[in-house]
């Protein structure tokens, strides 16, 4: 009787271990952003939708109906948006236990390749990284939705998405080699709006006219810092509650929810 109980107990514990490996995958704690990643092909160069693997574009892209009062911007790249409610690990290789953190809901990534096994290669801080497209938490598409009255800023959306995932480099102003937050703003405004911007985030935040949060439009600058005199970060509002910005925490050019940070001394209308 004791031997039967002992064998049953071992089998039960083994079952729990197997279950824990499938439900709670282990990620390397010491893996830093960009460490050990292979360079993505053309990671800091503009990708077009043709960069998506043959047979993986077109009908396989998940497009949504456009709500009334909104308009679609047709992008020149393919993006992966976390549209579910659960974060998805950003992994060093498909199926790897090593992670660079999580892709949280409402974040967006530029797609370099959709793989046949459902995995998605993205451009992440100038490197290749991978999302599991089999999770059901990701929508892959080549459009971005904005209010109809902001469709005039479509070129700004397209230009900024073309360099999504480029490497963060302090002092950088060229996505081909790396940008910081103000360098990214300077690049996009020059390319998409023919607008010459000053170099620092504080100088950029002081431009134009102030805008209330409920009046924000695509192309507005969102400044972050304890006060207008202490601005330390800036991003470009792209609609739907998101900004695109050069992130210095290891993500590179990335899309975030605009008010994840609450230290916002000014929203600036610089496009008129």
- Determine contact, residues 93/114, Cβ cutoff 8 Å: no
Pairwise CA distance, residues 159 & 175, whole Å: 11
CB atoms inside a 10 Å sphere around CB 26: 10
pLDDT top residue among 98 and 64: 98
> Could you read off the pLDDT of 215-260 as tens digits, one per residue?
999 999 999 999 999 999 999 999 999 999 999 999 999 999 999 9
First to last CA, the chain: 83
3-state secondary structure 19-84: HHHHHCCCCCCCCCCCCCCCECCCCCCCCCHHHCCCCCCHHHCCCCCCCCCEEEEEEEEEEEEECC
15-40 average pLDDT score: 34
Give the residue numbers annotated as catalytic, written as ranges.
181, 233, 245
What are the residue ranges of helices labelled H in the chain? 2-23, 154-162, 181-193, 201-205
Kindly report the CATH number that applies to the domain delimited by 149-269: 3.90.1720.10
> Could you read off the pLDDT of 165-181 as tens digits, one per residue?
999 999 999 999 999 99
154-160 average pLDDT score: 98
- Outline which parts of the chain fall under CATH 3.90.1720.10: 149-269
- Determine contact, residues 109/79, Cβ cutoff 8 Å: yes
pLDDT top residue among 144 and 13: 144
When the candidates are 2.60.40.1120, 2.40.50.140, 3.30.559.10, 2.30.30.40, the CATH number that belongs to 49-144 is 2.30.30.40
- Outline which parts of the chain fall under CATH 2.30.30.40: 49-144
Q: Rounded to two decimals, what is the model's pTM? A: 0.79
């Amino acid at each position: 009787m004791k031997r039967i109980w002992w064998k049953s107990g071992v089998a039960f514990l083994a079952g729990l271990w197997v279950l824990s490996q499938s439900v709670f995958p282990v990620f390397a704690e010491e893996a830093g952003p960009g460490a050990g990643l292979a360079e993505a092909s053309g990671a800091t160069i503009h990708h077009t939708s043709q960069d998506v693997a043959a047979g993986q574009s077109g009908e396989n892209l998940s497009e949504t109906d456009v709500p009334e009062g909104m308009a679609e911007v047709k992008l020149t790249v393919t993006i992966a948006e976390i549209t579910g409610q659960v974060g998805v690990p950003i992994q060093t290789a498909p199926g790897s236990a090593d992670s660079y953190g999580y892709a949280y809901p409402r974040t967006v990534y530029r797609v370099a390749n959709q793989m046949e096994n459902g995995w998605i290669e993205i451009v992440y801080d100038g490197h290749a990284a991978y999302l599991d497209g089999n999770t059901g938490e990701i929508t892959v598409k080549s459009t971005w939705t904005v209010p109809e009255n902001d469709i005039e800023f479509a070129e700004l959306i397209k230009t900024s998405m073309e360099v999504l995932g480029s490497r963060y480099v302090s002092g950088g102003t060229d996505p081909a080699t790396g940008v910081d937050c103000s360098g990214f703003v300077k690049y996009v405004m020059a390319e998409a709006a023919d607008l010459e911007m000053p170099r620092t985030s504080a100088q950029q935040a002081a431009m134009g006219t102030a805008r209330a949060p409920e009046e924000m439009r695509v192309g507005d600058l969102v400044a972050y810092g304890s006060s207008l005199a202490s601005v330390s970060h800036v991003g470009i509002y792209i609609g739907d509650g998101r900004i695109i910005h050069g992130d210095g925490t290891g993500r590179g050019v990335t899309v975030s929810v605009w008010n994840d940070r609450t230290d916002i001394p000014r929203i600036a209308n610089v496009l008129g």
